[in-house]
Amino acid sequence: MPESPTPAVSVIVPTYNRPEHLRECLRALAAQTYPDFEVIVVNDAGAPVEEVVAGFPRLRITLINQPANQGHVAARNRGLAAARGAYIAFCDDDDLWLPGHLADLVAAVEAGADLAYSDAEVVVFAATPAGRVPRRRELFAFDFDPDLLRRWNFIPPSTVLYRRDLHRRLGPLDEAMADYWDWDWWLRVAPGHRVVRVPVASVLIAVDAGGENASAVPERMAPNLARLVAKHRLGPLPTSNFLRMLAEPELQPYRRPSRIVWDGRVPVG
């Protein structure tokens, strides 16, 4: 498929002080089988990443350097403002897409979905001198259920693609939600729109074995969870994260099988 002057998809990648992870992320994007996309890297006033970006001349990358650190939600909104594609996808800089991921999601949206999400594998990585090494992997796969969505966020942001014009009707991402910006957005989109799950585990959701991820200690996010609960009138909810969710008794009946496509050899170092 030849590139179009205006890309079909805008992939927004916020980054902050993780140039090696960003390099791995861009390498995975460069391996996508669906070619008609742009990448908007938003550096949230972290270490320079120009050299990293320059290493991927075949990708259509726009680099935006935030003048001051404003947080990852503001970085995503900055990327949304620059997006040209009809569809939006997010990829955290430490997550990895497998090659068919974007093609599957575009097919789902072109078939009529307003928002599509894939399954994922949650991968616990250990840092070594040679780079990140996977130590544990678990399938993260849940059918879409609007009632379940009001109790648990079962849609990791790096698994999602949706129609950009949703923002025209619903507004930008809510920066006041901070760590729960994604859950807030899914709750805003779900009523009146078609949400479709693609049952392929085509994303690797990175979890650091040393507990350095922002969501590794979910109790720190309790004030933001309280804001989300108040905004959507959700009732009491536990703090959690994607890895902890896999052990939640309430969620076991909702877990689903998926097509596993990772052979363990995706470059991660």
Q: What is the mean pLDDT of residues 27-31?
A: 97
pTM of the model: 0.93
Domain limits for position 72: 9-260
With beta carbons less than 8 A apart as the criterion, state whether 23 and 45 touch. no
Q: Please provide residue 145's backbone torsions phi and psi, each rounded to the nearest 5 degrees.
A: -145, 110
The stretch 158-177 carries a mean pLDDT of 97
Bridge partners, residue 120, by sequence: 140
Please say if the pLDDT value at position 131 is more than 80. no
For residue 1, pLDDT beyond 80 = no
Count: domains in the chain: 1
Per-residue pLDDT, averaged over 211-221, amounts to 56
For the chain, what percentages of helix, strand and coil (3-state, to nearest 5) are there? 35, 25, 40
Lowest pLDDT segment from 3-12, 34-43, 208-217, 221-230: 208-217
CATH code assigned at 40: 3.90.550.10
Residue 14 has pLDDT above 60, yes or no: yes
- As beta bridge partners, residue 62 has 40
Would you state the pLDDT for residue 132?
82
Is residue 31 over pLDDT 70? yes
Q: Judge whether 265 lies within some domain.
A: no
Indicate whether 212 pLDDT > 80: no
Between the two ends of the chain, the Cα-to-Cα distance in Å is 30
* pLDDT at res. 211: 44
Residue 268 domain-assigned? no
- In the three-class reduction of DSSP (H, G, I as helix; E, B as strand; rest coil), residue 201 is classed as strand
CB of 34 closer than 8 Å to CB of 87: no
269 found inside a domain: no
> b/e string for 109-139 if b means 16 or more Cβ within 10 A?
beeebbbbbbbbbbbbbeeeeeebebeebbe
267 occurs within a structural domain: no
